[in-house]
Amino acid sequence: MEFVERIREKDKANSRKAKKLGCIIDTDICIDLLKGQKFAIELFENILKSGSYFISILTYYELLKGAYAKGQRDTVENFASLIDILAINEIIIKIGAIF
């Protein structure tokens, strides 16, 4: 899949340097991306340009929970291995609630 190639090309060290200012990718966007939905691919390509993007540990859980077949779980685990995963804390919850 194209998204995997794009993420691998990106230097993971760059995505870790600015955790204060980043994009937390919603579960629905991740699902649509993994399904190959065009709008989600385009959105994710724009997010990649930001240089700082993450999924929350809750999003990772939701993706795994919804992956029923082994192939789906493998895809989710591959995707998650390429993106920084944030633990959820009170600050993240409050910031997320604003948006």
Q: Would you state the pLDDT for residue 13? A: 46
Residue 18: CATH number of its domain? 3.40.50.1010
Specify whether the CB–CB gap between 42 and 67 falls below 8 A. Answer: no
Question: Digits of tens for pLDDT over the chain (99 positions)?
Answer: 566 566 656 545 444 444 456 788 999 999 999 999 999 999 988 888 877 889 999 999 999 999 988 889 999 999 999 999 988 888 777 877 776
Residue 89's domain spans which residues? Answer: 2-98
Q: Round to whole Å and give the CA distance between 96 and 1.
A: 29
Q: How many domains does the chain have?
A: 1
Q: State the pTM of this model.
A: 0.72
